[in-house]
Amino acid sequence: MRSASGLRVLSPPRLARHAGAMALKTRLRLSERDAEVLAGLGEFLDRLAGADLAERVRLGTGHTLEDFARRKRELSAITSARWAGTIVRGSNDQWVLARRAQADDLKQLTRAIEVIRGRLAVPVAACDIKTRVAGYPTQAVRAAKQRRLAHLTARAARLREQRRAGRVKIVRGGKRLLKTRLRLEPAGLDEASWRERWRQARTRIEADGESGKRHGNQTISISPDGVVTIKLPGELAAQHADVVDRYGRYTLDARAAFAHRDAEWQAQVKAHRAVGYTVTFECGRCYLTAAFTPPSNVLPEGADDEAFLAAVRARGVIGIDHNADHLAVWRLDVHGNPVGRPTRIEVDYAGSTSRRDAQIRHACSALLRQARQSGAGALVIEDLGFAIGREECGGCGRRGRVFRATVAAMPTAKFAARLLAMAHRAGLSVIVVDPAYSSRWGAQHWKKTTSTATHQTSGHDAAAIVIGRRGQGPCTRCTPPKREGNGPACRRPSAAGH
């Protein structure tokens, strides 16, 4: 939607809510007997989960509540009601996630097809004056894009047909690892090592928590002192009758100890509130993940966001401009005026996934420290979804490739999720705003105004001011306040008086 001037209408700022859920992970050092029992349990559950997922995919969009009850009833006869409930829920979640990914893929394909068609409608090396759409630079590029258009159109047609039929594609264990099976030598693997990775990727021993039950979970129960007990299905309990009690429960030799947030987990377990546990295998090691929601961290549903936003804005905000190599940060007072000089937080997202996550934690920690020191009540970030196709990321040529690589290297979703979780724990709020025109208006209205003889304001720093003011609500297109004698702070009437 665009205004009369042709600019896109900005979305209003919104308060990012965090449910307060927490996940803790620790390693279990299994004995030989533990490894044997868990391997048998993982293989047993993997077989049931695969069959149930195939049934869910076959039912497609025609799945009903009666089908859900039937699937759970059939699995309960083999295992137990709690194991069956976890397996059925997991299959449903996988199908919903695949369906959502299918819709996003189709939307991205449709957008890319529209962009290519629009540029093909313009002659080579020309530009449409009305729409400002540029044609392709050479005839060779135009011919390549015509072939790409045919390829994308065929893919979109197949996706629409699959979506109408309710078919989705799901690979338990991951499509990337499955394709590695065809290229073992380039991956540095042999068949035995690949099969072990495939088994570990598909093995997932998961049990949902239940409030009011002993230690919050009857299937995988962990006492406050770290004793892990697993309720085995009847078939496996009979196979391991010498190591289980009369109720079919097996106690691991390994002990669970959480080095991070152990106090919150202890309070949850001692109060017999729901705690879900997941046992996974990675690189030959066994890991246990505990997931729960502390009652003190749950935000009330239906709370008045406007009143809460007004309360946090009264303490000032911090505007954040997220870039590929740094964060531009500037503190704003309650009136939207920049305070002091901006801060630059260096980040380097190159390298492995663990290194990138460490960079995200470093940046979020620095932001929270600055917010606490300055007394700000909220952090304002842009809604950088980057939900755009290749054709919209700079077109073709070297400039387009460089821009696409820069965008792909920015973990915007992980940064926003980590910042939201850490800010929630620190008692701060996160406001999400529309990213449109922030850099342009910052360079136009704030870059020169905030520069001094000794400090030059960069375009990213000026954009941080626009982002922060947009989270506070004032008009960000107007020029900065100008003092004229003893009159009001700017040419507009002041609501607070002179």
- Summary mean pLDDT of the chain: 86
Flag whether pLDDT at 289 surpasses 70.
Answer: yes
Other beta carbons less than 10 A from residue 342's beta carbon: 20
Predicted local distance difference test score (pLDDT) of residue 37? 94
- The topology under which CATH files domain 299-472 is Nucleotidyltransferase; domain 5 (3.30.420)
Predicted local distance difference test score (pLDDT) of residue 498? 38
- Residue with the two structure tokens 């099976």: 181
Predicted local distance difference test score (pLDDT) of residue 313? 84
pLDDT in tens, 475-488: 555 556 554 444 44
Q: How confident is the model at residue 344 (pLDDT cuts 50, 70, 90)?
A: very high
Cα distance between residue 375 and residue 41, in whole Å: 52
Predicted local distance difference test score (pLDDT) of residue 46? 94
R_g over Cα of the chain: 28
Flag whether pLDDT at 494 surpasses 60.
Answer: no
What is the rounded average pLDDT of the residues 390-394? 48
Q: Which of 210, 228, 167 is nearest to 41 (CA)?
A: 228
What is the rounded average pLDDT of the residues 160-189? 92
Cα distance between residue 241 and residue 249, in whole Å: 10
The percent helix, strand, coil of the chain (3-state, each to 5) is 50, 15, 35
Flag whether pLDDT at 496 surpasses 80.
Answer: no
Whole-Å CA distances, 116 to 119, 132, 145, 149, 222: 5, 14, 7, 7, 57
pLDDT in tens, 441-457: 899 889 988 988 888 99
Predicted model pTM: 0.75
> Who has greater pLDDT, 197 or 395?
197
Whole-Å CA distances, 394 to 109, 130, 405: 16, 20, 11
Cα distance between residue 229 and residue 28, in whole Å: 13
Cα–chain-centroid distance for residue 463? 24
> Who has greater pLDDT, 303 or 218?
218
Other beta carbons less than 10 A from residue 157's beta carbon: 11
Cα distance between residue 150 and residue 135, in whole Å: 18
Other beta carbons less than 10 A from residue 149's beta carbon: 18
| Domain positions in the chain | 22-95+175-297, 299-472
Predicted local distance difference test score (pLDDT) of residue 295? 75
Predicted local distance difference test score (pLDDT) of residue 307? 76
Cβ–Cβ < 8 Å for 431, 463? no
Q: Which of 50, 40, 53, 45 is nearest to 78 (CA)?
A: 45
Flag whether pLDDT at 343 surpasses 70.
Answer: yes
What's the longest Cα–Cα distance across the chain? 91
Q: How confident is the model at residue 311 (pLDDT cuts 50, 70, 90)?
A: confident
Q: How many residues does the chain have?
A: 498
Cβ–Cβ < 8 Å for 460, 328? yes
Flag whether pLDDT at 312 surpasses 60.
Answer: yes
% of the chain residues with pLDDT over 70? 87
> Who has greater pLDDT, 319 or 490?
319
Q: How far apart are the first and last CA of the chain?
A: 37
Flag whether pLDDT at 389 surpasses 90.
Answer: no
Predicted local distance difference test score (pLDDT) of residue 398? 47
Cα distance between residue 162 and residue 159, in whole Å: 5
Predicted local distance difference test score (pLDDT) of residue 100? 95
Flag whether pLDDT at 385 surpasses 80.
Answer: no
Predicted local distance difference test score (pLDDT) of residue 305? 67
pLDDT in tens, 86-124: 999 999 999 999 999 999 999 999 999 999 999 999 999
pLDDT in tens, 403-437: 666 676 788 888 998 999 889 888 888 999 988 88
Cα distance between residue 254 and residue 263, in whole Å: 20
Cα distance between residue 84 and residue 78, in whole Å: 9
Structure tokens at 359: 């960079």
Predicted local distance difference test score (pLDDT) of residue 250? 95
Cα distance between residue 63 and residue 111, in whole Å: 30
Coil, helix or strand at residue 73: helix
